[in-house]
């Protein structure tokens, strides 16, 4: 019995053009009761979500030194080959490296964030900047100084150097020259043996 009523209802909908009438009612409602939502863009900025990925930036430690160690992992992780890193060794300290030259071609960047996740020392960050329109696309090939300036502007709070965050890194780091050599007698294992 219910199938008969369903068939009769479907036939009446087709005959009366129910879908067309309902869509015209929606259009008429929108036409009569529409309140525009306008953002005055240059003066009012839109609210960005927390997961927004904007312009990339190089970061520094709190003493002003660069975080990038020139390991080239960001260059290897980039799917569109945006990043070019030229690394070099610190003179007199063969175990320390730094990025001698760092360039990003932002015209090819996908803003995927793979370079940020690949960085072992958190030297890269995604900012919330999105207003990068230029007349010449060669202006979007950013060098190391430009990327550091973006990082200084977007991330004013900086963290301490790795040696000062984790004291065991400072003690066991071979290239850390101002630290006295650790004596075996001070080690807890040596103290347990003597007891």
Residues 120 and 91 occupy one common structural domain: yes
Average pLDDT of the residues in 91-107 = 89
Range of lowest pLDDT (39-48, 65-74, 135-144, 169-178): 169-178
pTM above 0.75, yes or no: no
Dihedral class, residue 92 (left if φ above 0, else alpha if ψ from -120 to 50, else beta): left
Residues 144 and 70 occupy one common structural domain: yes
Say if 50 falls within a structural domain.
no
Average pLDDT of the residues in 129-134 = 89
- pLDDT score, position 27: 92
Residues 122 and 145 occupy one common structural domain: yes
Say if 148 falls within a structural domain.
yes
Residues 126 and 192 occupy one common structural domain: no
What percent of the chain clears pLDDT 90, i.e. is strictly above it? 47
- Domain count of the fold of the chain: 3
Q: Which residues are annotated as a binding site for [4Fe-4S] cluster?
A: 68, 71, 74, 78, 109, 112, 115, 119
Q: Which residues are annotated as a binding site?
A: 68, 71, 74, 78, 109, 112, 115, 119
Residues 66 and 142 occupy one common structural domain: yes
Q: Give the domain extent around 192.
A: 162-195
CATH of the domain at 76: 3.30.70.3270
Residues 74 and 112 occupy one common structural domain: yes
Say if 6 falls within a structural domain.
yes
Average pLDDT of the residues in 148-177 = 72
Range of lowest pLDDT (57-61, 139-143, 159-163): 159-163
CB 127 within 8 A of CB 54: yes
Say if 47 falls within a structural domain.
no
Residues 68 and 100 occupy one common structural domain: yes
Residues 89 and 182 occupy one common structural domain: no
Residues 127 and 195 occupy one common structural domain: no
Residues 14 and 85 occupy one common structural domain: no
- pLDDT score, position 18: 85
Residues 72 and 123 occupy one common structural domain: yes
- pLDDT score, position 85: 95
Residues 116, 120, 123, 126, Cα dihedral to 10°? 20
Residues 174 and 155 occupy one common structural domain: no
């Amino acid at each position: 019995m219910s199938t008969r009523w369903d068939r009769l209802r479907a036939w009446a909908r087709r005959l009366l053009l129910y879908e067309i009438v309902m869509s015209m009612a929606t259009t008429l409602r929108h036409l009569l009761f529409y309140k525009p939502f306008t953002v005055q863009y240059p003066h009012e900025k839109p609210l960005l979500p927390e997961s927004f990925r904007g312009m990339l930036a190089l970061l520094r430690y709190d003493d002003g030194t660069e975080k990038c160690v020139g390991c080239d992992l960001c260059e290897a992780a980039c799917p569109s080959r945006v990043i070019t890193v030229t690394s070099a060794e610190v003179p007199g300290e063969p175990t320390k490296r730094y990025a001698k030259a760092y360039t990003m071609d932002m015209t090819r960047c996908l803003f995927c964030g793979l370079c940020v996740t690949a960085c072992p020392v958190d030297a890269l960050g995604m900012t919330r900047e999105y207003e990068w329109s230029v007349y010449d696309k060669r202006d979007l090939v950013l060098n190391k100084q430009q990327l550091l300036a973006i990082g200084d502007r977007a991330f004013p709070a900086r963290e301490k150097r790795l040696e000062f965050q984790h004291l065991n890194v400072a003690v066991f780091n071979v290239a850390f020259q101002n630290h006295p050599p650790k004596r075996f007698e001070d080690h807890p294992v040596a103290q347990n043996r003597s007891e």
